[in-house]
Chains A and B, each alone.
Chain A
């Protein structure tokens, strides 16, 4: 019975008919398999991006250990690099459902990074952990998917909450007029050939903020708004690519680490594909 829909991700970890019978599921086995791979690849790219950024520029964990916890620089640096290497090592393990411990380890380090960023950051630091919810919860959703034997209700709630938190936090940042976002808006307007002044960019940003928050709220409603998830996936990809588009190719780790912001809602889009075939 289990795996009848072809998840096959958990191997024989647990027989759980409830999982496959869950009303949370729709979609064809092919769509579910695609969803799983989207989430795996998106998460792996995110891990690679976070690791690359830490190795190139140092991460908030380094800053926290060194400046707040008063570790010697060499030890804080070693811990930071150890974490980055663990992310790189766990990225390929995401392909193996039975080795879901790798996904959990990655999620734990990413959560630590977000907390350290909040502790050492400066501009509305409490927005950082929710803004990074996608990258933290994506590997957790993968682990859960493996353990539960499929994308059951719990997996989907995790994905929904992840995307909603990330979009809501970015929406709030946009409404607060974050300087970097204003520059992105200006950059986009200029490339569109619109004579862009800062006030126009700020107006655009406010609209983006409201849309982000509306999407986040819509995703938390019981009803599935597939179009909303699709928009979020497109927007997540666009804003990730914008990092490189705007500030140059040296920013590639910044782009990669945001791939989860696209992969998480895209996974929902695929999972919510209406089933066309009969079981």
Chain B
């Protein structure tokens, strides 16, 4: 009887024991065959930050650029408390915050409380229009009798001028890293006043509906302001971490249309950036708009794309950009596309028709403005002739009449990679 019981028990237990052994062996095999990690260059960044907004004092000031930054800019800021009178005083000469001396003033046309259950913060957006191109505007922000210091920004040129700008994405999950990268941006911006703006590739914060996180981001953005008070304008794109969140439009003043957020930015007469949204339909209205925009811009010398989730990723899988936008980039001979989301450094070989082709399009970026960096997959075919890496980084883009140069700059200021190209023939 006992033997029978034992036999039954064995019959019952044996298969599970076998499965368990198999699972353990499989887990070990999986873990032990893990490719070597680059032990990604994630230095512990020292912390340094500005103060959170308090009361009615204007804080988290920023300049937002959309379609036509040579003529139009949005000056935005936050106050902790709700305010009635919200005004930007501005002029083309410094007035040292003497409000009466500024020749222009504009009311904030859009004010409200950021959507949030717990976090109390208010936004104010003032549109400045009919600005003069390539001109320094000094401004002072006032909310109910509380004022910012005098700040300034320079509008984009409207003629065929040389321009420089910074590109970066993914500033979302490592606040100390983000602050360090913002300080790196400030250092570059201060050292090279020809830099016009930051083109952001999306994923500002981890939870796009969390205003506490947005507030930290906005406060940290103040670190990009130069010692002399020059503000680095932002050209924003939407990332998956703020995919469906209304807070994105509250922060970025509906740039590119609420919820749509795709638009072109003319940084100069011959420099166009198409900013796309990978978090909505890529193939519908957006693809049609992209095709129209690229077709109509055939005469523009430099054509650049900016969007979040990559068509040619270095770690994850391709987004819908590959299917819907890449054929258009190739058809209209885009010069370079900036992509984020992967938390690595990458530059692809020039790609056309799913293979390396010197006439094709190069894809650069993958996001390193304040998020831990991971190990890329350099074995993907499109990195044969390209580069990959793993460190917090941004791109500095220099555009002249005969050259477009992209330098990938690390958190410590080292240049990791330089890529350049000449103008294409388009007709």
Contacts and interface: CB of A to CB of B under 8 A. Distances in A.
Interface of A: 11-13, 53, 56-58, 66-67, 72-74, 77-79, 81-86, 88-90, 93, 96, 98-102, 105, 122-124, 176, 179-180, 182-183, 186-187, 197-198, 201, 246-248, 250-251, 254
Interface of B: 8, 11-12, 15-16, 18-20, 22-23, 25-37, 39-40, 173, 207-208, 240-244, 279-285, 315-318, 320, 322-324, 371-372, 374-375
A82 B316 contact: no
Contacts of A73: 37, 39-40, 372, 374-375
Contacts of B320: 179-180, 183, 247
Nearest to B324: A183
A85 B23 CA distance: 8
A67 B19 contact: no
Contact of B27 (A11, A82, A100, A187): A82
B44 to A, nearest CB: 12
A74 B37 contact: yes
Given A67-B371, A77-B37, 11 more contacts: A57-B317, A89-B26, A90-B19, A90-B23, A101-B19, A101-B20, A105-B19, A179-B280, A182-B283, A186-B284, A198-B285
B279 A123 contact: yes
Contact of B30 (A58, A84, A124): A84
A86 B26 contact: yes
A105 B33 contact: no
A86 B27 contact: yes
Contacts of B279: 123, 179
Contacts of B37: 72-74, 77
Most buried by A among B242, B284, B285, B322: B284
A198 B284 contact: yes
Contacts of B40: 73
B29 A78 contact: no
Given A179-B279, A198-B285, A85 B324 contact: no
A81 B242 contact: no
A78 B31 contact: yes
Given A81-B31, A186-B281, A122 B242 contact: yes
Nearest to A196: B284
Nearest to B209: A122
Given A89-B22, A98-B15, A83 B285 contact: no
